[in-house]
Amino acid sequence: MIDLRSDTVTKPTEEMRKAMYEAECGDDVYGEDPLVKKLEDKAAELLGKEAALFVTSGTQGNQIAVLTHCQPGNEVLLEEEAHIFYYEGGAISAFGGVQTRTIKGNRGAINPNDVRNAIRSEDVHLPETGMICIENTHNRAGGAIVPIENMREVYQVAQEHNIPVHLDGARLFNASVELGVPVTAFTEHTTTVQICLSKGLGAPIGSLIAGSESFIKRARKWRKRLGGGLRQVGVVASPGLIALTKMADRLKEDNDRARRLAEGIRNIRDLKINNRVDTNIVLVDTEATGKSVEEILDLLKSNGILAVPFGPTTIRFTTHHHISDEDINQTLSTFQQLFDTVKK
């Protein structure tokens, strides 16, 4: 199978599996797992923050950020298709007791003036704005890179009002290798950040959140409350360290393959590319085929290709380290067999 459903499907490399086998372990709730400590220190250093915390998933990391920054009754500002709003099962309200206020973005970027206008003033009737979220790269905007300048402006507005900015950086390394800048170029415009090790970076499990020492101390308590305090977790921190230190540079290949896939699909009549392919996600509009998304996904599956539905007429394809040039060729030739090809 050519599995283009998500970069979450990546399996640990040989080097990661070996490191897992050999991992030195300790009880991390007692703060005694040496590899977790090493991973958290490395992440804090790379992300330019005082401290970091290893968490089980991107969702848990984002939710711990919400719980740590906000009080029940607060309002969180975020882009209208942000993962925290769209894909986390309403956790932000279920656990945090906060409400969301969404802002329509442009390729995932929220306009700083819209943010300024959405921040609540001091009034007995109004909720307090507890936090602002940015997502980079932006998943539903097709892996779009939110410009660093936009992040700087949003952060400035937030700082004027003393509101924390949290970055959902599940795929932040895809953006940093694409622009050829360190991840700190993005994270310097945020109060806290969440990065995923288990997407393009290829680790089997885990995310990190990073911020100030005092934020991470409070976040650690939230992680424990949520049942996320783990014990001999060095076995998953060890592949995480490899992911963080050795797997980022190769993400450029994933971004380039996604662009090649999009270029090929552009030559297929009735299919349209819906996004500018900045990184490893390609959104294909299938409306003109006259077939439903489910029918097309079934057809692709019977030809050995997996992708995911992403809207009534949209399919998402995501590249990652198990997808080779040959897989892209095969995917494109399958499309050519299934649909008419014309030069557009």
Write out the residues near ligand TLP by the rule CB under 6 A: 6, 8, 57-59, 62, 83, 87, 135, 139, 168, 170, 196, 198, 207
In the complex, minimum distance from the CB of residue 107 to ligand TLP, in angstroms, rounded to a whole number: 14
CB of 287 to ligand TLP, least distance (A): 22
Tell me whether residue 139 or residue 190 sits nearer to ligand TLP (CB atom).
139
Residue 313 identity (one-letter amino acid): T
Q: Between helices 325-338 and 293-302, what is the axis angle to 10°?
A: 120
Nearer to ligand TLP, 129 or 136 (CB): 136
Q: Are 214 and 46 within 8 A, CB to CB?
A: no
User: Is the CB of 63 or the CB of 129 nearer to ligand TLP?
Assistant: 63
DSSP 269-330: TT-EE-S--SSSEEEEE-GGGSS-HHHHHHHHHHTTEE-EEEETTEEEEE--TT--HHHHHH
CB atoms within 10 A of CB 42: 16
Q: 209 or 268, CB closer to ligand TLP?
A: 209
Which residue in the shown chain puts its C-beta closest to ligand TLP? 58
Q: How far is the CB of 196 from ligand TLP (least distance, A)?
A: 5
For ligand TLP, the closer CB: 139 or 289: 139
Peptide bond into 245 cis (omega under 30): no
Q: Which is nearer to ligand TLP, 278 or 339 (CB)?
A: 278
Supply the DSSP symbol for 168.
E
Q: How far is the CB of 30 from ligand TLP (least distance, A)?
A: 25
Minimum separation from the CB atom of position 316 to ligand TLP (A): 8
Q: Provide the CA 67 distance to its chain's centre, in angstroms.
A: 19
Q: Which residue has the tokens 């998953």?
A: 236
* Whole-Å CA distances, 232 to 12, 24, 127, 237: 19, 9, 41, 10
Distance CA 178, CA 259 (A): 12
Nearer to ligand TLP, 268 or 307 (CB): 307
Separation of alpha carbons 153 and 136, rounded Å = 15
Residue 133 beta carbon to ligand TLP: minimum distance, rounded to whole angstroms:
10
Q: How far is the CB of 116 from ligand TLP (least distance, A)?
A: 24
Residue 208's H or E segment, with its range, is strand 207-211
**Phi/psi-derived region of residue 342, left when phi > 0, alpha when psi is between -120 and 50, beta in every other case:** beta
Write down the least CB distance from residue 83 to ligand TLP, Å: 4
Q: Which is nearer to ligand TLP, 146 or 196 (CB)?
A: 196
